[in-house]
Chain A
Amino acid sequence: MDELGDAELVVRIVAGDERALMVAYDRHGATLFGIAVRFLGDRESAAEVVQEVFLSLWQRGARFDVAAGSLIAWLIGIARHRSLDRLRAASRRPRLVRTPTGDGRGGAGSGLEDVASTAGGRAAVMAQGAEADPAVEVDRRWTRSVVRASLAELPEAERHVLVLAYDEGLSQSQIAARLGLPIGTVKSRTRRAMAALRARLVEIPELMDR
C-alpha cells in the first residue's frame, strides 16, 4: 500500500479503503499541518483544518483529477479554502487584542494590526493599514506559509543550493564551484527543489493569475 502512487491511493479511498486514507495522511498530513499552523498560527485550528481536508478526501475524493495536478496540490487547495473560512469567521468577531510591535509599526493610529481571536485559538492578522489590501495580505501570507513549510521539508542538500542561489545570488556554475560538485548534480538538486515548491504553489489561483 505504501508504494502506491497518489492516483491509485485516491481510487482506493473512493472505494472506501480506510488504510489508503491513512497512507495518504502519513504521506501528506504533516505538510498540510505545517502549512496550516504557519498560516493560522495555532496548532488546534490547524489540526481541525487538516481533519476537514481528509474528511473531504474521504467523502469527495472522486473529484480529484490526476490530470489537473498532484494530490498534495489538491489537498493544499482544500486546506487553503478551509483556512480562509476560519479567518473570515474570526474577522467577524470583536477585536480582542491589539499588538503594538514596538518598532513603529504598532500603536494607535499607526497602522495597527487588526486582530481577531477565534474560539479555537489564534487566527491570523488582517492588516488594515492604509496601503494594505487585506485580501492581498491574506493571499500573501498563505503563499508564505506554503513556501516556508515546503522549504522546511526539503532535503538539506537541495535547500543548500537554493540558499546559495537566493541569498548569495550565485549561478549554477558558481554553486558547483563553491561546493566542488559537478554542475549536473547542482542543477538536478535545484530542479528537484524548485519543482517541489512549484507543485505546491500551483493550486493558488491568485499566484498563477498575476
Chain B
Amino acid sequence: MKPMDHAEAHERLADLALEPAAFDLSGTAEGLHPLQAHIEGCATCRADLVAWRATHDAIDDALATADGHRGRLADLAAEPPIVSPTSLRAAIARIPGSNEGATAVTSAPAGDQRLEATTRFGWRRAAALVAAVAVAVLGVSLLRDQSARLDLAQSETRELASVTAVLGRVLSDPGRHVVSLTSADGTANGSVAWSGHDLAVMTRALERPPTGQTYRCWIERDGARSPVGEMWFAGDLAYWTGSLDDWATISLDGGGRFGVSLEPAPGGGHGQPVLVADLPG
C-alpha cells in the first residue's frame, strides 16, 4: 500500500468533506486506508478530520427536529436573514466615546497653533481661509448628511422587509392568532399576530422614545408583569418581531394582557401602558 503524503491527505479530506456521509474511514472503499494510515501519524490532518466531522455533526444537529426526526436543510436555508437594527450600529459607534482612556484617532490643533497661523497669513487671508474651510465643511457635512440619510433609508427598508417576511409567515399559518392593540382611549392602534413559530407586534401609534427611554413589551398575568421585549422603529412603524420556536420562553396562549409602556432604558417595567391587547385564554 503506497503511503499518502500530507498534501494529498489534506486534499482528500477536503474532498471527503463535500460528501455528508463520506467520513467513515473504517469503510472498505479503496483509497481510504492510506488516508487513515496518514491521519494516524499526522496531528494536523487529525485536527482537520475532527473539524470536518464536527461541521457535519453540527449540520445534522441543526436538522434534528424536536420529535427526533430529521428536518430538511432547504427549510433551514429558507429562513430570511435577520436584519440588525439601525440603533445597534449607532450604539456600537458610541463605544469608543464611552471608553475612558481610549486613544483618539485624530486630535484638533492646539489653540496657540491656530493663532500663530492667523498672524502669519494676516487676518484677511485667514478670514478667506476660514470661509473656504467653512464652505468645504458645510459641503462635506451635507454630503455626509445625505449619505447618512441614504444609509438610514436602506437600513429601514431592510428592517421593513424583515418585518413583512415575519408577518407573511404568521398570516400564512392556519393556526395564527391576531389581536388588536388599543390605546388608553380604546382606539384600535396596531396588532399582535403570532403563529407557532413567529410573533409580530406592529403599530404606527408610537413616536420614537426620548433619549434614555424605550418602549417595553410585557405580558401581565395575575397582576404580575413579565417584560418580554422592546419596540424597534423603522420609519413611522414601531415593531417587535420574535421567534416562538421551541426555545421561546413566552406563550401568548395562556390568557392575560399584552402591553407596551414607556420605560427608562435600562430598567423599568412598571410604566403606564400606552397600548394593550387582551390575549386569548
Contact = CB atoms under 8 A, between A and B. Distances in A.
Given A18-B105, A140-B61, A51 B95 contact: yes
B185 interface: no
A191 B17 CA distance: 8
Interface residues of B, number: 67
The contact size tier of chain A is 35 or more
B84 A30 contact: yes
Contact of A43 (B18, B81, B85): B85
Interface in B245-263: 245-251, 254
A167 B73 contact: yes
Contacts of B254: 97
Given A30-B81, A120-B227, A122-B250, A147 B58 contact: yes
B66 A22 contact: no
A99 B248 contact: yes
A77 interface: no
A75 interface: no
A149 B76 CA distance: 9
Interface in B44-65: 50-52, 54-55, 57-59, 61-63
B240 interface: yes
Given A29-B89, A105-B66, A117-B228, A152 B95 contact: no
Interface of A: 15-19, 21-22, 25-26, 29-30, 33-34, 37-39, 41-44, 47, 50-51, 54-55, 58-59, 90, 96-101, 103, 105, 113, 115-125, 140-141, 143-144, 146-149, 151-154, 159, 162-163, 165-167, 169, 171-172, 187, 190-191, 194, 197-198, 201-202, 204, 207-208, 210
Given A41-B247, A51-B95, 18 more contacts: A16-B96, A18-B105, A21-B92, A29-B84, A30-B82, A43-B240, A96-B226, A97-B226, A97-B254, A123-B249, A125-B249, A143-B62, A162-B77, A187-B18, A191-B17, A191-B18, A198-B54, A201-B58
